Amino acid sequence: METNKLLTLSSKKSLICFSIEKSISLKYFGFKVKSLLKTNNNVSPHPFDHSLLSQFGNVDYFLPSVLILASDSSFAGSFIFDHYEETNGFTSLSPLPSSRNKGKGYSFFFVDKHIEASITINVSIFNDADGFAISTSVTNLSKNPFIIKRLASVNLDLNGTSPTLYSFDGSWAHEKNLHTTVVNGGRLEIDSDTGSSSNFHNPFTIIRNNDTYYGFNLIYSGNHKTSVEVNDYDHIRIETGINDFLFSYKLKPGETFFAPEALIEVADSIDYLSSSFHKLINSHIIPERFEKRIPPILFNSWEGVYFDFNQEKLLKMAKEAKDLGAELFVVDDGWFGHRNDDSSSLGDWVDNPLKTGGLKDLADKVRSLGLQFGIWMEPEMISEDSDLFKKHPEYAMRIPNREPNRQRNQLMLDLTNDEVVKFIIDSVSNVLDLSKASYLKWDYNRNFSDVYSSSFNSFEYGYRYIVNLYKIMDVLTKKYPSVLFEGCASGGARFDLGILSFFPQIWCSDNTDPLSRLFIQTGSLIGYPAKVMCCHVSKPINDVTKRKSRLLDRFQIALMGNLGYELDPTKLSNQDRKDIKQEIGFYKGFRKFSFFADSYLLGDCYNSNISGDMLINSSKSKAFLIVALTGSYRGYLKIRGLNPKFSYQVNHHGKAYLGSYLMDKGIFINQSISKLKKDYTCQIMTFCYELERIKGE
C-alpha cells in the first residue's frame, strides 16, 4: 500500500483531503485552500489511528461510529485501514436509495481480523454541484454471525469549541421549525424513534463551527440520529445515521449491511449551504425524469368535502376547478370499501360505486373536462373493520396475545412480510390500472407501535420495514413512470431524501394556515427546494388553527412552494372565484421561473416580524420577493443574492437601485397590519416585489 500520500476531492468551493501514512486520517474538510501543507488542519488530532470511523475498546471514549457484538460476545473493535480504491460514478449495491450521477471518489477499506469483518466507506463528489456523498457498509467475512449494534453513516471529527446545532423540529401541523442550540460540552442528539424520519426531528441538520457551516442529510425514511459531542480539548465529533435505539442487526456469514447514504455540504453561509442542497436534490436525488418537469396545479377534494361526496358533487367541483385554471383534480380519502369516516376499509382498495359512481367512469369524466385525474391511497395501513383484516389478520403489525395500540383508528401493515409487499404492489397497481390516474397521493397517517416479528430479531424491524418500503416504491415507480407520486405522512412526518428518491414532491403539512405555513415552509426551504414542497391554498377559516385569513395571504405564502388548492370551488364567492383565476394565471408563468431559481430567505420569522423568501435566476437579472409581516413594520429589508454592480428596478417602475445598495441598505417598508384585526384573526400580511435588471445597462 502506498503511504505518505494526500488524496483530495474537490467540489466547486469545498475540499476534502485524506492523509495516508500507516493508516488513513481526515486531514482537511472545508473551503478550498491554496496549499494544504501550509494551512492548519481543521480536523481534530486523535489518540487513535483514523478518524473516518471510530470504535469502542481503545482510548477513544466519544460515541463510536461502529459497535459490533462479536460471536465471542466481545465488543472491542480493532478495524485497521487496509487499502483504498479510486472510483468514478460510484454505484452502491445497497437496497437503500442513493444519489445518482456521482463523480470522482474513493472507497476506503478497513479490516478487523479478530471479528473477521470489513468496513467500506465510500466518499464521492458531484461534477455539477457542491457537496459530498458518503456511504458505509459492513461485511461479515467469518463463519459465524455477529450483531451490528451501531453503524453511523458519517463520523466527522473537527477542531473547535461551542459549535451551534441548527435542527428542524416540531410536531403534527407544526413541522420543521428552526431551533439553534450551542453545544458547550457533552453530547446533544437529534433523533427519531417513530419508525419514520418523523415530524418531530427532520434528518436534515446544520452544525456551525466558527465561521463554517456543515450541512448533513440522510437518504433514509426511518429512525435516524445525529449527535454532536464536545470535550474540553477543542474536539468536536459529529455523527449521523440510523438511530441505535431499538436497533441491532444480525449479520450472517458472507452478508453485507448497508447504512444509509449521507449528503454533506460545507459553506460559509446558510444561504450558500441551502442553495447547494437545493441543486443536489434537484439534480441527484429526485427521479431524473422529473428533474425539469413542472408539476400540475391541482385541486384536492379533501378539505372541500371530506368523506361526504358522490360522483355528481365531485364532477361539479372538477368543472369549477377547470374553469379556474386547474390542471389536475384529486379524489382524496373515502372512495373505497365502505369508508365514510376514518374507522374502516383501509386495505380494501376496491371502488365504492355508491360514492364514485364507478371509479373508472368518474376518472374518464374528469379527463373529458380537460383535467388530469388523481387519487389518494394509504397503502401501508389496515383497518380492523375491513375485509382484508378478516381474511389476513396476520398482515397487521402487532404483538401476539396483546391488545394493539391504535392511532387514527388503524393499524399498520407488516411490510417485513413478503406477502404484504406483494399485496401492496398489486393493490396500487389495480387502482392505477382501473383509474388510469396520472397522480397518486401516498399517505401514511400513524407511527410505529407493536413492533414484532416471529422470523427475525425485532430490533431489525425498522430497517427491514424501510428496505421493503423502498422495494415497493421502486417497483411501482418503474412500472408507472409517468405517474406523479406525492409523498404524505400526516403532513410532513416523512419529508426526507429517501422518499424524494422515488416521489418528486411531498405534502409539507396538514396545517395550511398562512401564518403557520410561514414557519413550516421557511424551515423546509433551508434544506429542500421549493419544487418538492407542496403548498395548498385552503378555506378562509383553517381547520387546524381556526384562524381566518385573507385569500391573498394564503396564495402568496403558497408561492414559496408547489401550488395547489384544497377547498370546494363550488362554494366560492364571485370575488374569490375571480381572484383565484387571476392567481392561477399568474402562477402558470411564475412557476417557469421559480422552480429553477436560486432561493434566499429574507428577514427572520423566528426572531422578528418581517421575513420571506427571494427567488433569483442564475443570471441575477430577475428576482421575486415574497415578504410576510406578522406585525407592523417600518424600516429596511435587506435583499440577498443580487449582483452588486447591476441596477434593478422595483416593480417595473420608479427609481432604480444598485444591487449593492439593495443588499447593504435594502427596500424601505412601511406597513401596518392593524386593519386586519377587524375581519381576520390570522395576523399576517404578505406582499410581493419584482426586481428587474434595467435593460441596456
| Catalytic residue set | 443, 510
Look up residue 417 and give its amino acid. N
> What single string gives the DSSP state of each residue in 368-380?
HTT-EEEEEE-TT
What is the rounded distance in angstroms from the CA atom of residue 382 to the CA atom of residue 112?
45
> What single string gives the DSSP state of each residue in 163-176?
-EEEEEE--TTS--
What is residue 637's three-state secondary structure? strand
What is residue 691's three-state secondary structure? strand
Element (H, E) at 177: strand 177-182
Cell of 68: 459490533
State the residue for C-alpha cell 406525492: 486
What is the rounded distance in angstroms from the CA atom of residue 505 to the CA atom of residue 535?
10
| Residue 146: strand pairing partners | 251
What is the rounded distance in angstroms from the CA atom of residue 146 to the CA atom of residue 304?
54
Q: Does residue 120 contact residue 106 with C-beta atoms inside 8 Å?
A: no
Q: Does residue 335 contact residue 352 with C-beta atoms inside 8 Å?
A: yes
What is the rounded distance in angstroms from the CA atom of residue 23 to the CA atom of residue 18?
10
Cell of 417: 412480510
**Residue 578 to residues 320, 357, 551, 575, 581, Cα–Cα distance (Å):** 12, 31, 11, 5, 5
**DSSP label of 219:** S
Instruction: Give the angle 662-663-667 at the CA atoms, nearest 5°.
Output: 40
Cell of 278: 437545493
State the residue for C-alpha cell 460515541: 63
How many angstroms from the chain centroid is the CA of residue 307?
29
What is the rounded distance in angstroms from the CA atom of residue 369 to the CA atom of residue 60?
67
Other CB atoms within a 10 A radius of the CB of residue 408 amount to: 14
Element (H, E) at 660: helix 659-664
Q: Strand 685-693 relative to strand 622-629: parallel, antiparallel, unpaired?
A: antiparallel
Rg (C-alpha) for the chain, rounded Å, is 26
State the residue for C-alpha cell 459497535: 67
Look up residue 465 and give its amino acid. Y
What is the rounded distance in angstroms from the CA atom of residue 393 to the CA atom of residue 405?
15
Give 203's Cβ-side CA count (13 Å radius).
Answer: 34
Cell of 296: 400540475
Cell of 232: 474540553
How many angstroms from the chain centroid is the CA of residue 586?
28
